[in-house]
Amino acid sequence: MDTTTVTFTLNGTTTALAVSPLTTLRTALRENLHLSATKAGCSQGGCGSCTVLVDGEPTLSCLLPLALIEGQEVTTLEGLSTRGGLHPLQEAFYDRFAAQCGYCTPGMIMAAKALLDRNAQPTREEIREALVGNLCRCTGYLPILEAVEDAARRLSQ
């Protein structure tokens, strides 16, 4: 079987990885690079728990072969914190108890990051629309919405 070497930027660092042709970005992150924040949920594009940013766009890493992101920039939850501190989204999720089991949290935060990067002061409705593809099976949606609003406030200060 062929392997392909794929070079891309991962959380600001140039990364090269040899993988089999259809290895997904999610599998590469979790199993090859041991970055386990990105979660393996439904593997069908239906739950949003594997959401990462590719060139700033929210993307379902379970459906995207790594070989297709040659030269592109990937941001995962691990890439949000700076100098050991939490990102305001992470702080807000923590302070607002926006995680119950926590499995959807990385996907929620990355989807919210994509929103806040282009709309610094979203309405509640805009937040709902941005997170509509992310399922929380604990159904803890309200604190999640509040956390994103809180993070927007923290980021604008």
Partner 1 sequence: MTVTTLFTPRSADEAVDLMRRHGSDLVVLAGGTIMMPMINDGALFPRQVMSLRRAGLDGLHTANDHVEIGATANLARVAEVNALPPLAEAARTVGGPALRTMATIGGNLFAHPPHGDLGAPLLALDAEVQLAGGRVLALEDFYAERASGSRAGTELVTALRVPRPQGQSVYLKCGRRQGNTTSVIAVAVQVMIGSDGTCSDARIALGAAASHPMRARRAEEQLRGRLPDGEICAAAAEEAMAECEPFTDAIASDWYRRKMIGVYVRRALEATLSIHVGQ
44 contacts partner 1 (rule: CB under 8 A): yes
67 contacts partner 1 (rule: CB under 8 A): yes
Which residue, 73 or 91, has its beta carbon nearer to partner 1? Answer: 73
1 contacts partner 1 (rule: CB under 8 A): yes
Q: Which residue is associated with the tokens 């041991």?
A: 34
Which of residues 5, 7, 12, 63 is near partner 1 by CB under 8 A? 63
DSSP codes, 20-81: -TT-BHHHIIIIIS---SS----SSSSS-TTEEEETTEEEETTSSBGGGGTT-EEE-GGGT-
- State the DSSP code for 87: P
Answer whether 5's CB lies under 8 Å from 18's CB. yes
- How crowded is the C-beta side of 64, counted as CA atoms within 13 Å? 20
Binding to partner 1 in span 74-133, by CB under 8 A:
111, 114-115, 128-133
Integer Cα distance of 84 and 60 in angstroms = 26
Which residue, 92 or 115, has its beta carbon nearer to partner 1? Answer: 115
- Give the chain's count of helices (H) and strands (E): 5, 5
Which of residues 43, 78, 81, 91 is near partner 1 by CB under 8 A? 43
24 contacts partner 1 (rule: CB under 8 A): yes
Which of residues 11, 32, 36, 65 is near partner 1 by CB under 8 A? 65
Which residue, 45 or 97, has its beta carbon nearer to partner 1? Answer: 45
Positions that interact with partner 1 (CB under 8 A): 1-2, 4, 20-24, 43-46, 48, 51, 57-60, 62-65, 67-68, 111, 114-115, 128-134
